[in-house]
Amino acid sequence: MYTDTVFLSATTTPFSYFPIVLQLVAALGFVGITMLATHFLGPKRKTSDKLINFESGIEQKGNARQPVAIKYFLTAILFVLFDVEVIFFYPYAVNFRELGWEGFVAVLMFVGFFLCGFIYITKKGALKWED
Amino acid sequence: MNALISTALSGVVLMFVGLFVRNKQHIKFFAIAAIIIAFIANLAQYPSVQLGGYVMYGMIEVTKFGVLFNAVALGTTLLYFLLSGSEFEKMGEHVADYFALIFFILAGISLAASFSNLLMLFLAIEIMSIPQYILAGADKKSLKSNEASLKYFLMGSFSTGILLMGITLIYGAAGSFEIAALGLGAESVHPLALCGIILMVFALAFKVSAVPFHFWTPDVYDGSPTVFTAFMSTVVKAGGFVAFLRMFHTSFAGGSISHHWTLILSLITAGTLVLGNFSAVFQQSVKRMLAYSSIAQAGFMLFAVVSLNSMGSQGIILYSAAYSIATIGVFAVLMKLKDYTFEGFNGLARKEPLLAGAVAVFLFSLAGIPVTAGFFAKYFVLSAAILNGRLLWLVVLAVLCAAISVYYYFRVIIAMYFKTGEPEVEQTSGGFKAALVLAIALVLVLGLFPNLLLCWL
Amino acid sequence: MPVQYYIFLSIALFCIGVMGVLMRRNAIIIFMCIELMLNAVNLLMVSFSKMWADAGRVDAGSAQLFVFFIMVVAAAEVAVGLAIITMVYRNTHSVDINILNRLKN
Amino acid sequence: MLTVLLILIPFIAGLISFGLKGSGPKVLGIISSLATVVIAIGTWCTFRTTPDSLDFVADWIPQLGSQFRVGLDGMGVMLCLLTAVAFLLIFITIYSRDYEKPGSFYGLMLLAQAGLMGVFTAYDALLFYIFWELALIPVYFLCSLWGGEKRIAVTFKFFIYTFLGSLLMMVGIIYLYFQTQDHSFSWAAFSSLPLGPEKQKWLFWLFFVAFAIKMPVFPFHTWQPDTYEQSPTPVTMILSGLMVKMGLFGLIRWCLLLVPQGVGMWSDVAIVLCIIGIIYASAIAMVQNDIKRLIAYSSIAHIGLMCAAIFADNEQSLQGVLIQMFNHGINIIGLWIIVDVIQQRLGVKNMDQLGGMARKAPRMAIFFVIISLANIGLPLTNGFIGEFLMLSGLFEYNHWFMAFAGLGIILSAVYTLGMIQKVIFGESNELTETTTDLQPGEALALSLIVIMILVLGVYPKPMLDLVSSTTEVFNKVF
Amino acid sequence: MTLLSIDWFFIIEKVLLISVVLVLSLVVAMYSTWGERKVAAWIQDRLGPNRAGPMGLLQPLADGGKLFFKEEIIPTNSSRFLFILGPSIAMMVACMTSAVIPWGDTLVIAGRPVSLQIADVNIGILFIFGVVSMGVYGIMIGGWASNNKFSLLASVRAASQIISYELPMGLALIALLMLTGSLSLKDIVEQQRHSLWNVCYQPLGFFIFLVCAFAECNRAPFDLPEAENELNGGYHLEYSSMKLGFFLFAEYINMFISSALIATMYFGGYAFPYMDSLGLDPNVVTILGFVALFIKTLCFIFFFMWVRWTVPRFRYDQLMRLGWKVMIPLALANMLITGALILARQH
């Protein structure tokens, strides 16, 4: 029994994630039941006016799913790039005491490149929202 | 190593040059200066690696071969800048960015020439590929360019996925990423490793556009802005071959393992030769013809890989130089013309004798006629295959294909010299002409004295 | 769990990705399938890393390092790819690769 | 050093010629070819006394074991002499003509000469290959730029044929290179290779196809009549008089000595091919009306005989071939000069439209008859001795082969005489009435040819002495 | 009790803990709405809810009940499946983040140690990070599915905002990670138990994290996605009944979890001064620790509300500029300085 318990609660095995699975099941159950409940509990008096989109009271014009400003895409793309660069800091941060100053200098170089990219996109106006 | 650092830094610098230099005609000079510096920096490393490779963290091993290949790549890129640098300015506002991307590609190439770890191989291939996707789509308004870019991107990343799967399977079998320490040459080959090697053959064949993984090439090369096609189909392709060669000659050469992939690769080579040449024959546009001819030339370069001996590495250096210089030159002249069909060249010799002469020399070189660099390039790769001993059938096939290649290369020569017409040619500057003469001189000098290049190896 | 499970799962995911690339016509879906392939590789890489670590290889962590690099490169590809797809969409109002055959003729 | 000069003089003159205009190239051509003839005669003299001093070696690509190694044996001296003389004759003949862009025309001609000289002197396989190709390209341009209506397609075919052949030869050269002990391209290293019969069996074909295309031997001949017909006549003279000899020379120097067993194994097949070619070409020549095509086919027939004689594998036939190489070169150039004269004057090539020219152009008629008879190989002309030696050699090898080859000689007499009959004798017509006799340049060239024909026909000893050194080499091999 | 080689006590214990935590977060969220209105009223010198129960304490229950019984409207133009999926994801994500937070030290019940943490995984912070970034899908899908221009714009804004502030947040955490050397939240707390709280070493990091937490929760002054005066109510404009409730609840749960997280990472979590020198029974200390954490969390929740009613909303360009051009460089600098100082002290 003891070995099993250790096995189940050790932080390095996949089984330490088991409670998370439990929680996921619980959360799923909660969300599902609530969704069903609200579906069955509420009244259903549908009219066509009620079911159209609300656009400040005036009639809806065209489809809402039009291309949005390219800025948003750009933000998304930049996020992907910079976020991944940030990910690189994590393994470094875990080991940085062992790596010492040498590693620090390497990371400074990395940050330098990071900043180069950052300054570049700034200068290119990728982050300029005030038009 | 120097080449890698200097090109990567140059790329960053160029990016910023674009931000601070207003006149876009000046950017080219920065690029040329940067590439000259990179060239010199690369050569400066030669004495230190003359006796043995310089290993860095088990990731990179700079060897004489790597330095020499970098010199070739940087040198041909310099020539490319000199010849076509001004074409960049027609591509819109982001001239400096395009130069920067080219430098990043060069960084990838120099990595490809000196990786000693599968991780670096992967990075090299990707650093080479990703900027190309952008360059292919540089002409944002043109649907053809868009399509080229999208197609290249999808196909390129697909092959990356396959390459990665190959690497992973090899890792699963060998437990290491160091190409010198994979130790797969034992008597029996692990099935995972076998699958991995085959996937890698496929993926790299994809990158160097070998049949049957070539289908993206003509469309992409045709659709991309011509100035970038010139670069993508030459220097970058050579970089792919170097990666291919280094990988397979270091890791998969020994013992029984080479039997498994050389057969596949020799079939690929045969297919590439035959299909590339036959398709090129039927093209009406010179640009598209060059696209197919680049497939055909890839077939020859594959000889260097498949024949597994030191002639191969000499051959790949010479072939890269000869092929890149000649193709860059032809493209440079092509860009000065309005009409990219064969008829567009009609009567060029009468109107612009220098341009026509240059194109003729370059095409001779591509066809492998003696006294041009292309002859010795072909000579070396064929020698490599003959030395191998088991590939004589392939050699004979290659010879037949080389004869076919004369057909479509000479169509241009015939159009220029033997037909009459009024080609529309842009005014060319004195600098362009000087660069063209330089290129001709290089082709001829390498054609007479290939050892000027190879004595460094 | 034995490493075979991971191998089979990864290969299955990878094959789904490959099939998707070959059969689907929507550029974004193809792109997603490619990402699926990359992630299958990541999974396999990590499980091999574990396998070799269990077998006593001290440098087995390098495979996890590799995964980091794959993610980075995948991110770079995403950035470029999304930009390209957006560009194509703006010009053609479609991301179906079937209409992209202008170059064929 | 003399040997190098043989290549360098035309090469440099050719390069200079590209920059000249007006009559400059013509003069340069004459001067250069005269100088070359003098040098060639000089090499002959040197060869009689100190043959070794003709060798010249310089480092070229040390890593490959390839050197700039040139030298001359008897055959080489003879062919260089032929080349030098032929070019002089050609330049004299066309001195009165005006070609478009003369600078380029003469430049390319001289470059072709340099290439030919290189081929005949190279003692390094790689060098040989390079000169082999180098001789081809100027000729290609000459044909395509100054040729007839269908020139582009025809010369293109010619180029691709020969290029393919030479690539195969390159494969063979590379293969042999790797067999040598010290990885060298030198002829000495190649010829001393101990190759097994198995290897020789297929190596033979790599070389033979290249040479057979150049000669041309049936069935590789299809490019030839078209090309001869479409090319400008000076180029046709080079093609038929000299470039054909490249094939024969290559066969002797670079095939016979390198893969003797291969030659032995395939000699029957090769001779059969040659004889088919002889009969076939002669038959077509008999029904030809086009005078240029007739001579082209007659050339195929003659070359076929020479090629067959090479394979006959004995000293006699080889001696015949060597002599005949020179004589055929002289004769065929003479014939082409005559044809060129007719074409220049009358603008037709069809023999049906000709006739009775003896009356209007008696000097030309005389020359034509003499040269034609020499071409048939009548005794007392230079053609006789060579053909006799070749046929007797063939007879020694196989009676039947000799019989069929002899049939070729007879047929050649038939169509050549028929040609003379149709062109020179018979009734003159409106067209031939307008003809004029030879101009001084043409007359000079033709009389030089006729002198050589007669002298060599009566006193062939100098030539036989010259080539004896080569045949001695073969005695050692077989 | 071991059956089929599974420790069933362990599972029961965990299930209980999960239930408690989930209920607790829901209750806290519910009463946060009440609290918020009370705080608003207090700051604006009003009364706030006071009808349902004493001091309006039953108000949240009434609101919840109302949401349950409201009519469920799904616009005809919308994508039905995605429309339901959006709020579900938002809620799911909100419920999942609490899994790795150590709510207290270990209790010993009947000789068996029971940890007050649902799962002590060694990558706790990364787990939270990963789960939180899923939250953006809920908003994005909800806004897209509505097929309403305002919703779409709001959701795109929300997505941009959230991902933009994830970067400095991640960087701020890296500095913390350098300090602690572990990604496990339990370890982080245990370290603070015996020394100063992390906020003393990481004041700038704490500040950055706090700002980012505001932005991540779409709380004022970063509540652009639901800026009612320009966007009619934001990404949940088309929602009604409990689906709307989910979006609202998720926001409050997120606020609760962020507060708990800030308390855990920078303010000692369940550790409180002199906890080991009081000489009390370990179980009592654990319970006191839990109370301490809860108080700290409530303080931060109050802080959230205080800010909301004090600081005016940013304009969108200001928000993005703050995120990219101020926060990211600041966070980078913080990280480098932290690293340098630690290394300097080490030698």
Instruction: Out of A88-97, A102-111, D394-403, give the one with best mean pLDDT.
Output: A102-111
**Angle at which helices D399-423 and D362-376 pack, to 10 degrees?**
170
- Classified as helix, coil or strand, A44 is coil
The residue among B371, B359, B372, B350 whose CA lies nearest residue B413 is B359
Q: Is C4 on the interface with A (CB under 8 A)?
A: no
Q: Is B137 on the interface with C (CB under 8 A)?
A: yes
E120 is written with which tokens?
Answer: 């002590």
Does B124 have pLDDT greater than 50?
yes
Q: Is D174 on the interface with B (CB under 8 A)?
A: yes
B367 is written with which tokens?
Answer: 């066809």
What is the pLDDT averaged over residues D69-91? 88
The residue among D138, D154, D159 whose CA lies nearest residue D231 is D154
Band (pLDDT 50/70/90 cuts) for residue B186 is low
Is the pair B, C in contact (3+ CB pairs within 8 Å)?
yes
Count other C-beta atoms under 10 Å from residue D460's C-beta: 18
pLDDT for the residue C44: 93
Cis amide bond preceding D216, omega within 30: yes
d(CA E243, CA E222): 23
pLDDT for the residue B131: 94
Top residue of D60, D158, D170, D183 to mutate, by most chain B CBs within 10 Å, is D170
Question: Which residue is it, tokens 């400003």?
Answer: A69
In a domain, C100, yes or no: no
Q: Are B19 and A123 in contact (CB under 8 A)?
A: yes
d(CA B272, CA B261): 16
What is the pLDDT averaged over residues D151-180? 86
What is the pLDDT averaged over residues D51-64? 82
pLDDT for the residue D57: 86
d(CA D464, CA D54): 20
Q: Is D163 on the interface with B (CB under 8 A)?
A: yes
In a domain, E135, yes or no: yes
Band (pLDDT 50/70/90 cuts) for residue A6 is very low
Relative to beta strand D56-61, strand B60-62 is unpaired
What is the pLDDT averaged over residues C59-78? 88
Report the percent of chain B where pLDDT is more than 90.
Answer: 39
Task: Please give the C-alpha separations between residue D245 and each of B263, B308, D240, D302, D321, in angstroms, as whole numbers.
Answer: 42, 40, 8, 12, 10
| Upper half-sphere CA count for residue D299 (Cβ side, 13 Å) | 36
CB contact under 8 A, E178 and A93: yes
Per residue in B254-282, pLDDT (tens digit) is 767 788 888 889 899 999 999 999 988 88
Per residue in A62-78, pLDDT (tens digit) is 777 777 777 888 888 88
How distant is the Cα of B249 from the closest Cα of chain D, in angstroms? 21
Mark out the alpha helices in chain A (DSSP H runs). 2-9, 18-41, 70-124
Chains contacting E with at least 3 CB pairs below 8 Å?
A
Q: Are B409 and D200 in contact (CB under 8 A)?
A: no
**Angle at which helices E149-180 and E185-194 pack, to 10 degrees?**
50
Cis amide bond preceding A43, omega within 30: no
CB contact under 8 A, B19 and A123: yes
pLDDT for the residue A3: 36
Size of interface B-D (CB pairs under 8 A): 74
- Looking at residue C102, what DSSP letter applies? G
d(CA B368, CA B375): 4
Give ∠ CA B230-B232-B233 in degrees, rounded to 5. 70
What is the pLDDT averaged over residues E52-76? 83
Is the pair D, C in contact (3+ CB pairs within 8 Å)?
no
Q: Are E237 and E151 in contact (CB under 8 A)?
A: yes
CB contact under 8 A, B406 and D170: no
Whole-number CA gyration radius for chain D? 21
DSSP E261-305: HHHHHHS-TT--TTTTSS---HHHHHHHHHHHHHHHHHHHHHHHH
**Angle at which helices E185-194 and E124-146 pack, to 10 degrees?**
130
CB contact under 8 A, D164 and B371: no
In a domain, E269, yes or no: yes
Say how many domains are in chain E: 1
Which residues from chain B sit within 8 angstroms of residue A124, using beta carbons?
Answer: 19
Per residue in E199-220, pLDDT (tens digit) is 888 899 999 999 999 988 888 7
Which residues from chain C sit within 8 angstroms of residue A87, using beta carbons?
Answer: 68, 71-72
Q: Is B150 on the interface with C (CB under 8 A)?
A: yes
Residue in chain B nearest A124 by alpha carbon: B19
**Angle at which helices A70-124 and C61-92 pack, to 10 degrees?**
110
**Angle at which helices D315-346 and D440-458 pack, to 10 degrees?**
160
Task: Say which CATH number the domain at C55 has.
Answer: 1.10.287.3510
Which residues from chain A sit within 8 angstroms of residue E225, using beta carbons?
Answer: none
Mean pLDDT of all residues belonging to chain E: 86
Q: Are D100 and D146 in contact (CB under 8 A)?
A: yes
Strand partners, E113: E108
pLDDT for the residue A11: 45
Which residues from chain C sit within 8 angstroms of residue A80, using beta carbons?
Answer: 75, 78-79
Band (pLDDT 50/70/90 cuts) for residue D311 is confident
Per residue in E284-319, pLDDT (tens digit) is 888 899 999 999 999 999 999 889 888 888 888 888
In a domain, E118, yes or no: yes
In a domain, E54, yes or no: no
Give first-to-last CA distance, chain B, whole Å. 17
CB contact under 8 A, A87 and C86: no
Count other C-beta atoms under 10 Å from residue B218's C-beta: 24
In a domain, E51, yes or no: no
d(CA B240, CA B264): 18
d(CA D384, CA D396): 18
CB contact under 8 A, B165 and C37: yes
Query: What letters, b where the CB count within 10 A reaches 16 and e where it falls short, cover B369-395?
Result: bbbbbbbbbbbbbbbbbbbbeebeebb
Band (pLDDT 50/70/90 cuts) for residue B444 is very high
Kind plus residue range of the DSSP H or E element containing D291:
helix D291-311
Band (pLDDT 50/70/90 cuts) for residue D185 is confident
Show the beta-strand stretches assigned E in B48-192. 54-56, 60-62
CB contact under 8 A, A31 and E340: no
Domain boundaries, chain A: 1-65, 67-131
In a domain, C88, yes or no: yes
Does E234 have pLDDT greater than 80?
no
Residues 11-50 in A contacting C (C-alpha not used; CB under 8 Å):
14
Q: 3-state SS of B250-264?
A: HHCCCCCHHHHHHHH
Q: What is the CATH number of domain A67-131?
A: 1.20.58.1610
pLDDT for the residue E4: 62
Mean pLDDT of all residues belonging to chain B: 89
CB contact under 8 A, A53 and E238: yes
Top residue of E3, E149, E238 to mutate, by most chain A CBs within 10 Å, is E149
Q: Are D251 and D208 in contact (CB under 8 A)?
A: yes
Size of interface B-C (CB pairs under 8 A): 125
pLDDT for the residue B366: 92
Q: Is D169 on the interface with B (CB under 8 A)?
A: no
How high is the ipTM of this complex? 0.84
Give ∠ CA B362-B368-B373 in degrees, rounded to 5. 60
In a domain, E15, yes or no: no
Report the percent of chain D where pLDDT is more than 70.
Answer: 99
Computed from CA positions of residues E126, E127, E128, E129, in that sequence, does the dihedral angle turn out positive or negative?
positive
How distant is the Cα of D344 from the closest Cα of chain B, in angstroms? 23
Cβ-based burial of D196 (10 A; exposed 0-12, middle 13-18, buried ≥19): exposed
Q: Is C5 on the interface with A (CB under 8 A)?
A: no
Q: Which residues of B touch D (CB under 8 A)?
A: 364, 368-371, 375, 379, 382-383, 386-387, 392, 395-396, 399-400, 402-404, 406-407, 410, 414, 417-419, 449-451, 454-455
Residues 76-115 in A contacting E (C-alpha not used; CB under 8 Å):
76, 79, 82-83, 86-87, 89-90, 93-94, 96-97, 100-101, 104, 107-108, 111, 114-115
Q: Are D160 and B406 in contact (CB under 8 A)?
A: yes
Does E227 have pLDDT greater than 70?
no
How distant is the Cα of A3 from the closest Cα of chain C, in angstroms? 18
Band (pLDDT 50/70/90 cuts) for residue A10 is very low
CB contact under 8 A, B161 and C55: no
Give the structural domain span for E221: 63-346
Show the beta-strand stretches assigned E in D212-357. none
Q: Is C99 on the interface with A (CB under 8 A)?
A: no
Count other C-beta atoms under 10 Å from residue B188's C-beta: 8
Does B189 have pLDDT greater than 80?
no
Say how many domains are in chain C: 1
Measured in degrees and rounded to the nearest 5, phi and psi for residue B60 equal: -125, 135
Give ∠ CA B199-B203-B207 in degrees, rounded to 5. 165
d(CA D230, CA D224): 10
The closest CB to that of B370, out of D130, D160, D175, belongs to D130
pLDDT for the residue A57: 67
Give the structural domain span for C34: 3-95
Task: Determine what percent of chain E falls in helix, strand and coil, rounding each to the nearest 5.
Answer: 70, 5, 25
pLDDT for the residue A4: 39
E78 is written with which tokens?
Answer: 């919308």
Q: Is C46 on the interface with B (CB under 8 A)?
A: no
D21 is written with which tokens?
Answer: 């205009």
CB contact under 8 A, B399 and D63: no
In a domain, E36, yes or no: no
